[in-house]
Amino acid sequence: MTSSTTPGGLARFNALEEHAALAALHEVCASTAWARILLARRPYATTDDLHLASDAAMGELTAADLAEAMAGHPPIGRPKPGDPTSSREQRGMAGASAELKEEMLELNLAYQEKFGHVFLICATGRTGEQMRDAVKERIGNSPEQEREIVRSELGKINCIRLAGLVEGDEA
């Protein structure tokens, strides 16, 4: 997914004015702290450097920063209307049965009741059944365990979205 050379998309990202780069990063992740950390570490020589900076920034986020990041994600099975990224990432639920969608709604609500935020998983490439099984498994976690799993899942999502930001127009 990453490259050892500087793609044109990365060069364009490095050259963006601060407000434009911040807006682009905010589309990747709703955490202002994460975006500011990445912004402060520009320019990036390679996409590997950008992804490493993203991973490091994820590790620096506080519980409040994670909550801000999660607030930018819709519940699984209910992508944001008109948001192609959200729809693409949750494609595994698009063809799910009505029963599975109803079960996910109930599980999402139970999860949110327990943890106070949406169930967050890197849904790209996962089936509806895999996402259902993951929420069933994770709902038994402690809040501390779940916060670290969310941090990891958010990092995976950010990596995919960053690749789209800087590599998506390279074809």
pLDDT at 171: 35
Is there a domain that residue 148 lies in?
yes
Residue 101 lies in a domain: yes
145-162: per-residue pLDDT in tens? Answer: 999 999 999 999 999 999
Q: What is the mean pLDDT of residues 9-24?
A: 95
122 assigned to some structural domain: yes
Span 64-90, average pLDDT: 76
Q: What is the pTM of this model?
A: 0.86
3 part of a folded domain: no
Q: How many domains does the chain have?
A: 1
| CATH number of residue 84's parent domain | 1.10.3330.10
Rounded-to-integer distance, Cα 58 and Cα 31, Å:
10
Q: Give me the domain span that covers residue 103.
A: 8-167
Q: How far is CA 165 from CA 25, 29, 91, 136, in A?
A: 9, 12, 20, 32
Whether 2 is in a domain gets the answer no
